[in-house]
């Protein structure tokens, strides 16, 4: 079976027109769902968030049961893969008729790392606790986040750690972060406007004692362990933030093991 598999409104196709809002305006929302052996993980949670993002953007969304069926279809064929769901506003060019589209695609997973390094990047575009109409929405307008990742790579790191103008640790461009200090586990709170990550939610189920906090970079650099939480990389130890090195630690390893056991159920 060849990947990617692309469905647009349930029909197999090679893609969408160049006139679509997703191409011209970055106007849409999306979800990325991990499939294990053809079974998509936490579909309902992802669809809940998709609907919230679409509502924030005033985007029409196909019937939930239809999207779920398209997700299951491509996941079953894809096996161990990533399923992306993208909702667009449709044509963004005057004179071109049409309506919004729902793209469901299965594609290969990126290479799995065993550890990662981060470089702090100030993110002035991040709401960082200032609430507006799209706070918490998972939109397809990811250019600033990806630029932050490239900036981090220029410094020799794998990816960026987004920090507010005031120095508060937020999240990664495509992942959530956590850290351990003196046996306790912390993660930035949702009140900072970070994404309500599904992987982060699962980790909070695994470790309900995790404290959701607001901490500056200086304080996080005092941690004993740092880790990232993402759909594609799951739970991954961070071995460096900037010039500060961290050994992979036992708490991160325990959370990663319990996460693996949960998704294998």
Q: What does the pLDDT read at residue 98?
A: 80
106-131 residue pLDDT tens: 999 999 999 999 999 999 999 999 99
29-79 residue pLDDT tens: 999 999 999 999 999 999 999 999 999 999 999 999 999 999 999 999 999
> Could you confirm whether domain 5-107 is CATH 3.30.470.10?
yes
> Could you confirm whether domain 116-263 is CATH 3.20.10.10?
yes
Q: What does the pLDDT read at residue 109?
A: 95
CA–chain centroid gap for 249, Å, is 24
pTM: 0.94
Domain ranges of the chain: 5-107, 116-263
- In the predicted structure, residue 1 carries a pLDDT above the cut 70: no
């Amino acid at each position: 079976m060849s990947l990617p598999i692309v469905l647009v409104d349930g029909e197999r196709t090679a893609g969408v027109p160049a006139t679509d809002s997703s191409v011209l305006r970055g106007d849409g929302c999306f979800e990325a769902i991990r499939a294990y052996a053809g079974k998509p993980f936490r579909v309902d949670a992802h669809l809940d968030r998709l609907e919230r993002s679409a509502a924030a953007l005033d985007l029409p969304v196909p019937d939930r049961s239809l999207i779920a069926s398209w997700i299951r279809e491509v996941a079953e064929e894809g096996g161990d893969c990533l399923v992306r769901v993208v909702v667009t506003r449709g044509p963004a060019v005057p004179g071109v008729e049409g309506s919004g589209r729902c793209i469901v695609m299965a594609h290969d997973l990126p290479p799995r790392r065993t550890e990662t390094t981060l470089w702090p990047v100030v993110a002035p575009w991040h709401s960082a606790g200032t609430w507006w109409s799209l706070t918490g929405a998972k939109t397809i307008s990811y250019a600033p986040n990806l630029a932050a990742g490239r900036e981090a790579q220029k410094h020799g790191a794998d990816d960026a750690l987004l920090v507010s103008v005031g120095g508060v640790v937020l999240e990664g461009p495509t992942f959530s972060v956590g850290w351990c200090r003196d046996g306790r586990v912390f993660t930035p709170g949702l009140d900072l406007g970070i994404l309500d990550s599904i992987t982060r939610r699962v980790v909070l189920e695994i470790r309900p004692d995790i404290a959701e906090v607001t901490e500056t970079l200086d304080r996080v650099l005092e941690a004993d362990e740092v880790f990232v939480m993402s759909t594609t990389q799951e739970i991954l130890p961070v071995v460096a933030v900037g010039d500060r090195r961290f050994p992979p630690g036992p708490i991160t390893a325990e959370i990663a093991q319990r996460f693996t056991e949960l998704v294998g159920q």
